[in-house]
Protein backbone atom coordinates (compact mmCIF):
# COMPACT_ATOMS: atom_id res chain seq x y z
CA UNK A 1 0.00 0.00 0.00
CA UNK A 2 1.39 3.39 -0.99
CA UNK A 3 2.02 5.69 1.96
CA UNK A 4 1.51 9.40 1.58
CA UNK A 5 4.74 11.30 2.28
CA UNK A 6 4.77 14.97 3.15
CA UNK A 7 7.20 17.06 1.17
CA UNK A 8 9.06 18.90 3.93
CA UNK A 9 10.22 21.84 1.85
CA UNK A 10 6.72 22.51 0.53
CA UNK A 11 5.43 22.47 4.09
CA UNK A 12 8.21 24.85 5.09
CA UNK A 13 7.29 27.29 2.32
CA UNK A 14 3.66 27.25 3.40
CA UNK A 15 4.57 27.90 7.04
CA UNK A 16 6.97 30.72 6.22
CA UNK A 17 4.62 32.46 3.80
CA UNK A 18 1.41 31.89 5.76
CA UNK A 19 1.16 35.38 7.34
CA UNK A 20 1.88 36.98 3.97
CA UNK A 21 -0.65 34.68 2.30
CA UNK A 22 -3.38 35.55 4.78
CA UNK A 23 -2.91 39.27 4.15
CA UNK A 24 -3.07 38.72 0.39
CA UNK A 25 -6.20 36.57 0.78
CA UNK A 26 -7.98 39.24 2.84
CA UNK A 27 -7.11 41.99 0.36
CA UNK A 28 -8.18 39.89 -2.61
CA UNK A 29 -11.43 38.87 -0.89
CA UNK A 30 -12.37 42.54 -0.52
CA UNK A 31 -11.58 43.28 -4.17
CA UNK A 32 -13.31 40.19 -5.50
CA UNK A 33 -16.53 40.73 -3.52
CA UNK A 34 -16.58 44.36 -4.64
CA UNK A 35 -16.31 43.03 -8.20
CA UNK A 36 -19.25 40.68 -7.57
CA UNK A 37 -21.57 43.29 -6.09
CA UNK A 38 -20.70 46.49 -7.97
CA UNK A 39 -22.51 47.14 -11.26
CA UNK A 40 -24.91 49.60 -12.84
CA UNK A 41 -28.54 49.03 -11.91
CA UNK A 42 -30.21 51.76 -13.99
CA UNK A 43 -31.71 50.44 -17.22
CA UNK A 44 -33.90 51.49 -20.11
CA UNK A 45 -35.04 50.36 -23.54
CA UNK A 46 -32.22 52.28 -25.23
CA UNK A 47 -29.68 49.98 -23.60
CA UNK A 48 -31.45 47.02 -25.19
CA UNK A 49 -31.47 48.66 -28.62
CA UNK A 50 -27.79 49.57 -28.33
CA UNK A 51 -27.01 46.00 -27.31
CA UNK A 52 -28.85 44.65 -30.36
CA UNK A 53 -26.90 47.02 -32.58
CA UNK A 54 -23.62 45.95 -30.97
CA UNK A 55 -24.45 42.27 -31.48
CA UNK A 56 -25.86 42.93 -34.98
CA UNK A 57 -29.19 41.32 -34.10
CA UNK A 58 -32.46 42.24 -35.80
CA UNK A 59 -35.39 43.42 -33.70
CA UNK A 60 -38.14 40.79 -33.82
CA UNK A 61 -40.81 42.33 -31.58
CA UNK A 62 -43.14 45.36 -31.78
CA UNK A 63 -41.19 47.46 -29.32
CA UNK A 64 -43.95 50.07 -28.93
CA UNK A 65 -46.23 47.49 -27.33
CA UNK A 66 -43.80 46.48 -24.57
CA UNK A 67 -45.28 47.27 -21.16
CA UNK A 68 -43.21 47.78 -18.03
CA UNK A 69 -44.91 47.00 -14.74
CA UNK A 70 -44.27 46.02 -11.13
CA UNK A 71 -45.35 43.06 -9.06
CA UNK A 72 -45.65 43.87 -5.37
CA UNK A 73 -44.58 41.16 -2.93
CA UNK A 74 -43.98 40.90 0.80
CA UNK A 75 -40.24 41.29 0.14
CA UNK A 76 -40.49 44.24 -2.23
CA UNK A 77 -41.29 45.11 -5.82
CA UNK A 78 -40.30 43.07 -8.85
CA UNK A 79 -39.70 45.25 -11.89
CA UNK A 80 -40.73 43.49 -15.08
CA UNK A 81 -41.79 44.00 -18.67
CA UNK A 82 -44.13 42.03 -20.88
CA UNK A 83 -45.32 41.77 -24.44
CA UNK A 84 -48.67 39.99 -24.74
CA UNK A 85 -49.29 37.98 -27.89
CA UNK A 86 -52.59 36.88 -29.36
CA UNK A 87 -52.46 33.74 -27.24
CA UNK A 88 -51.91 34.86 -23.62
CA UNK A 89 -51.98 31.28 -22.34
CA UNK A 90 -48.44 30.59 -23.63
CA UNK A 91 -45.58 32.45 -21.93
CA UNK A 92 -41.80 32.48 -21.97
CA UNK A 93 -39.98 34.01 -19.00
CA UNK A 94 -36.49 35.31 -19.76
CA UNK A 95 -33.81 35.28 -17.06
CA UNK A 96 -30.93 37.67 -17.66
CA UNK A 97 -27.31 37.25 -16.63
CA UNK A 98 -25.27 38.74 -13.79
CA UNK A 99 -25.03 42.59 -13.98
CA UNK A 100 -27.73 42.69 -16.69
CA UNK A 101 -31.41 43.60 -16.49
CA UNK A 102 -34.91 43.00 -17.85
CA UNK A 103 -34.24 44.96 -21.04
CA UNK A 104 -31.12 42.98 -21.92
CA UNK A 105 -33.11 39.85 -21.11
CA UNK A 106 -35.37 40.69 -24.05
CA UNK A 107 -32.81 39.40 -26.53
CA UNK A 108 -33.34 35.92 -25.08
CA UNK A 109 -37.08 35.86 -25.64
CA UNK A 110 -37.91 38.16 -28.55
CA UNK A 111 -37.82 35.38 -31.18
CA UNK A 112 -40.42 33.44 -29.17
CA UNK A 113 -42.94 36.18 -29.91
CA UNK A 114 -43.05 35.07 -33.55
CA UNK A 115 -43.62 31.50 -32.36
CA UNK A 116 -46.88 32.57 -30.71
CA UNK A 117 -45.65 33.09 -27.15
CA UNK A 118 -46.21 36.09 -24.93
CA UNK A 119 -42.91 37.13 -23.33
CA UNK A 120 -41.86 38.46 -19.94
CA UNK A 121 -38.53 39.44 -18.44
CA UNK A 122 -37.75 40.89 -15.03
CA UNK A 123 -34.94 42.44 -13.05
CA UNK A 124 -33.54 39.59 -10.97
CA UNK A 125 -32.82 39.88 -7.26
CA UNK A 126 -30.49 42.84 -6.56
CA UNK A 127 -30.54 43.86 -10.22
CA UNK A 128 -32.22 46.77 -11.98
CA UNK A 129 -35.23 48.20 -10.17
CA UNK A 130 -36.18 45.01 -8.31
CA UNK A 131 -35.66 44.53 -4.59
CA UNK A 132 -32.41 43.21 -3.14
CA UNK A 133 -29.08 44.81 -2.22
CA UNK A 134 -26.35 42.21 -2.87
CA UNK A 135 -26.77 39.58 -5.54
CA UNK A 136 -26.50 35.91 -4.63
CA UNK A 137 -26.14 35.17 -8.35
CA UNK A 138 -29.73 34.20 -8.94
CA UNK A 139 -30.55 32.05 -5.90
CA UNK A 140 -33.06 34.52 -4.42
CA UNK A 141 -34.74 34.96 -7.79
CA UNK A 142 -36.55 31.65 -7.25
CA UNK A 143 -39.22 33.25 -5.07
CA UNK A 144 -39.52 36.05 -7.64
CA UNK A 145 -40.37 33.52 -10.34
CA UNK A 146 -42.97 32.03 -7.98
CA UNK A 147 -44.64 35.45 -7.75
CA UNK A 148 -44.38 36.05 -11.50
CA UNK A 149 -46.06 32.74 -12.29
CA UNK A 150 -48.78 33.52 -9.74
CA UNK A 151 -49.34 36.77 -11.61
CA UNK A 152 -49.46 35.09 -15.04
CA UNK A 153 -51.85 32.39 -13.88
CA UNK A 154 -54.17 34.90 -12.22
CA UNK A 155 -54.07 37.59 -14.90
CA UNK A 156 -53.80 35.56 -18.11
CA UNK A 157 -54.71 32.01 -17.07
CA UNK A 158 -51.29 30.94 -18.34
CA UNK A 159 -51.10 27.22 -19.08
CA UNK A 160 -47.83 26.71 -20.97
CA UNK A 161 -44.76 28.22 -19.36
CA UNK A 162 -41.14 28.02 -20.48
CA UNK A 163 -37.94 29.39 -18.96
CA UNK A 164 -34.87 30.57 -20.85
CA UNK A 165 -31.82 32.08 -19.20
CA UNK A 166 -28.18 32.75 -19.89
CA UNK A 167 -25.25 32.61 -17.47
CA UNK A 168 -26.68 33.42 -14.01
CA UNK A 169 -30.17 33.19 -15.50
CA UNK A 170 -29.48 29.71 -16.89
CA UNK A 171 -28.49 28.38 -13.46
CA UNK A 172 -31.53 30.06 -11.89
CA UNK A 173 -33.80 28.42 -14.47
CA UNK A 174 -32.38 24.98 -13.66
CA UNK A 175 -32.67 25.66 -9.94
CA UNK A 176 -36.31 26.62 -10.44
CA UNK A 177 -36.91 23.34 -12.20
CA UNK A 178 -35.65 21.67 -9.03
CA UNK A 179 -37.29 23.64 -6.24
CA UNK A 180 -39.74 26.25 -7.58
CA UNK A 181 -43.27 26.23 -6.19
CA UNK A 182 -44.62 26.00 -9.75
CA UNK A 183 -41.91 23.72 -11.11
CA UNK A 184 -44.53 21.33 -12.52
CA UNK A 185 -46.04 24.18 -14.55
CA UNK A 186 -42.75 24.68 -16.42
CA UNK A 187 -42.97 22.71 -19.66
CA UNK A 188 -39.38 23.27 -20.79
CA UNK A 189 -36.14 25.01 -19.82
CA UNK A 190 -33.38 26.43 -22.01
CA UNK A 191 -30.13 26.97 -20.09
CA UNK A 192 -27.45 28.91 -21.95
CA UNK A 193 -23.92 28.84 -20.48
CA UNK A 194 -24.88 28.35 -16.84
CA UNK A 195 -22.72 27.14 -13.95
CA UNK A 196 -23.44 23.93 -12.03
CA UNK A 197 -21.99 24.93 -8.66
CA UNK A 198 -21.61 28.52 -7.45
CA UNK A 199 -18.71 27.75 -5.11
CA UNK A 200 -16.74 26.23 -7.99
CA UNK A 201 -17.62 29.16 -10.25
CA UNK A 202 -16.48 31.75 -7.69
CA UNK A 203 -13.19 29.89 -7.28
CA UNK A 204 -12.77 29.62 -11.04
CA UNK A 205 -13.38 33.33 -11.57
CA UNK A 206 -11.27 34.44 -8.62
CA UNK A 207 -8.34 32.40 -9.96
CA UNK A 208 -8.78 34.08 -13.34
CA UNK A 209 -8.72 37.56 -11.79
CA UNK A 210 -5.83 36.94 -9.42
CA UNK A 211 -2.74 38.36 -11.04
CA UNK A 212 -0.54 36.74 -8.40
CA UNK A 213 -2.09 33.31 -8.92
CA UNK A 214 -1.34 32.71 -5.22
CA UNK A 215 -2.53 29.46 -3.69
CA UNK A 216 -4.48 31.23 -0.92
CA UNK A 217 -6.09 34.12 -2.83
CA UNK A 218 -9.58 32.64 -2.63
CA UNK A 219 -9.23 31.49 0.98
CA UNK A 220 -11.83 33.90 2.44
CA UNK A 221 -14.11 34.40 -0.55
CA UNK A 222 -16.65 31.74 0.41
CA UNK A 223 -17.03 33.11 3.96
CA UNK A 224 -17.13 36.70 2.69
CA UNK A 225 -19.80 35.89 0.14
CA UNK A 226 -21.92 34.15 2.75
CA UNK A 227 -21.56 37.04 5.19
CA UNK A 228 -22.63 39.54 2.51
CA UNK A 229 -25.56 37.57 1.07
CA UNK A 230 -26.53 35.00 3.70
CA UNK A 231 -25.91 32.21 1.18
CA UNK A 232 -23.19 29.59 1.50
CA UNK A 233 -22.18 29.20 -2.17
CA UNK A 234 -21.61 25.48 -1.63
CA UNK A 235 -25.37 25.03 -1.20
CA UNK A 236 -26.00 26.53 -4.65
CA UNK A 237 -25.21 23.19 -6.24
CA UNK A 238 -27.37 22.01 -9.13
CA UNK A 239 -25.92 18.51 -9.40
CA UNK A 240 -27.65 16.69 -6.47
CA UNK A 241 -31.14 17.38 -7.90
CA UNK A 242 -30.23 17.66 -11.57
CA UNK A 243 -32.56 14.81 -12.58
CA UNK A 244 -35.71 16.95 -12.29
CA UNK A 245 -38.19 15.84 -15.01
CA UNK A 246 -38.60 19.06 -17.06
CA UNK A 247 -37.10 18.76 -20.58
CA UNK A 248 -34.01 20.95 -20.74
CA UNK A 249 -31.88 22.24 -23.58
CA UNK A 250 -28.29 23.01 -22.62
CA UNK A 251 -26.37 25.52 -24.73
CA UNK A 252 -22.72 26.28 -24.02
CA UNK A 253 -19.88 27.40 -26.26
CA UNK A 254 -16.70 25.39 -25.91
CA UNK A 255 -14.89 28.71 -26.31
CA UNK A 256 -16.51 30.20 -23.18
CA UNK A 257 -13.73 31.54 -20.95
CA UNK A 258 -16.03 32.82 -18.18
CA UNK A 259 -17.94 29.64 -17.28
CA UNK A 260 -16.39 26.34 -18.46
CA UNK A 261 -18.64 24.48 -20.90
CA UNK A 262 -18.05 21.25 -18.94
CA UNK A 263 -20.60 22.54 -16.38
CA UNK A 264 -23.44 22.22 -18.91
CA UNK A 265 -22.04 19.04 -20.41
CA UNK A 266 -21.84 17.36 -16.99
CA UNK A 267 -25.41 18.32 -16.07
CA UNK A 268 -26.69 16.98 -19.38
CA UNK A 269 -24.80 13.71 -19.00
CA UNK A 270 -25.89 13.08 -15.42
CA UNK A 271 -29.53 13.83 -16.27
CA UNK A 272 -29.51 11.27 -19.10
CA UNK A 273 -33.00 12.48 -19.98
CA UNK A 274 -34.24 11.43 -23.46
CA UNK A 275 -36.17 14.70 -23.72
CA UNK A 276 -33.06 16.86 -23.29
CA UNK A 277 -30.82 18.42 -25.92
CA UNK A 278 -27.19 19.53 -25.74
CA UNK A 279 -25.56 22.01 -28.09
CA UNK A 280 -21.85 22.76 -27.69
CA UNK A 281 -20.77 25.05 -30.54
CA UNK A 282 -17.25 26.43 -30.87
CA UNK A 283 -16.29 30.05 -31.43
CA UNK A 284 -18.55 32.43 -29.48
CA UNK A 285 -17.48 33.78 -26.11
CA UNK A 286 -19.62 33.81 -22.97
CA UNK A 287 -23.32 34.69 -23.69
CA UNK A 288 -22.43 35.31 -27.35
CA UNK A 289 -23.88 32.15 -28.93
CA UNK A 290 -27.29 33.77 -29.38
CA UNK A 291 -25.77 36.74 -31.19
CA UNK A 292 -23.00 35.07 -33.19
CA UNK A 293 -25.01 32.01 -34.24
CA UNK A 294 -28.48 33.54 -34.09
CA UNK A 295 -30.09 31.74 -37.01
CA UNK A 296 -28.78 28.36 -35.92
CA UNK A 297 -29.73 29.13 -32.31
CA UNK A 298 -33.35 29.70 -33.30
CA UNK A 299 -33.38 26.53 -35.39
CA UNK A 300 -32.07 24.47 -32.45
CA UNK A 301 -34.68 25.93 -30.12
CA UNK A 302 -37.52 25.18 -32.51
CA UNK A 303 -36.22 21.65 -32.93
CA UNK A 304 -36.06 21.26 -29.15
CA UNK A 305 -39.62 22.50 -28.72
CA UNK A 306 -40.83 20.05 -31.36
CA UNK A 307 -38.81 17.10 -30.12
CA UNK A 308 -38.95 17.53 -26.37
CA UNK A 309 -41.28 14.54 -26.20
CA UNK A 310 -39.11 12.38 -28.45
CA UNK A 311 -35.97 10.39 -27.88
CA UNK A 312 -32.67 11.88 -26.82
CA UNK A 313 -30.70 13.76 -29.46
CA UNK A 314 -27.26 15.30 -29.11
CA UNK A 315 -26.86 18.41 -31.26
CA UNK A 316 -23.43 18.88 -32.71
- Do 118 and 21 lie in one domain? The reply is no
Q: Could you tell me if residue 3 is inside a domain?
A: no
Q: Could you tell me if residue 191 is inside a domain?
A: yes
pLDDT, position 203: 92
- Do 99 and 149 lie in one domain? The reply is yes
- Do 213 and 189 lie in one domain? The reply is no
Tell me the average pLDDT across 275-291.
Answer: 97
User: For 51-76, how does the pLDDT look when each residue is reduced to its tens digit (9 = 90+)?
Assistant: 999 999 999 999 999 999 999 999 99
The 3-class secondary structure across 124-183, one letter per residue, is CCCCCCCCCCCCCCCCCHHHHHHHHHHHHHHHHCCCEEEEEEECHHHHHHHHHHHHCCCH
Domain that holds residue 294: 47-197+236-315
Assess contact for 183 and 246: CB atoms under 8 A. yes
- Do 148 and 120 lie in one domain? The reply is yes
Tell me the average pLDDT across 286-313.
Answer: 85
Q: Could you tell me if residue 142 is inside a domain?
A: yes
Q: Could you tell me if residue 52 is inside a domain?
A: yes
Tally of structural domains, the chain = 2
pTM tops 0.85:
yes
Q: Could you tell me if residue 1 is inside a domain?
A: no
Dist. CA 183–CA 175, nearest whole Å: 10
CA distances from 145 to 79, 163, 186, 292 (A): 12, 10, 11, 29
- Do 124 and 136 lie in one domain? The reply is yes
DSSP, res 53: H
CATH number at residue 176: 3.40.50.1820
Q: Could you tell me if residue 2 is inside a domain?
A: no
- Do 80 and 25 lie in one domain? The reply is no
- Do 118 and 217 lie in one domain? The reply is no
- Do 205 and 217 lie in one domain? The reply is yes
- Do 17 and 134 lie in one domain? The reply is no
- Do 231 and 110 lie in one domain? The reply is no
- Do 76 and 223 lie in one domain? The reply is no
User: For 74-104, how does the pLDDT look when each residue is reduced to its tens digit (9 = 90+)?
Assistant: 999 999 999 999 989 999 999 999 999 999 9
Q: Could you tell me if residue 124 is inside a domain?
A: yes
- Do 217 and 288 lie in one domain? The reply is no
Amino acid sequence: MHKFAYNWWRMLIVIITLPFSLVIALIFKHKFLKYCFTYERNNNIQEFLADLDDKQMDLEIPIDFIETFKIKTDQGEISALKLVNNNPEKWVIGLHGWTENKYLGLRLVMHFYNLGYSILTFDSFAHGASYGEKTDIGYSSIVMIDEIINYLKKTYQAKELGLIGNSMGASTAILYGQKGVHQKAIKWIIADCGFANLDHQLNWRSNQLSKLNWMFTNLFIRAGFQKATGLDPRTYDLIPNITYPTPTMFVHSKSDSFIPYQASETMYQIRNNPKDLLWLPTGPEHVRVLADLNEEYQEKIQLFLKQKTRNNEHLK
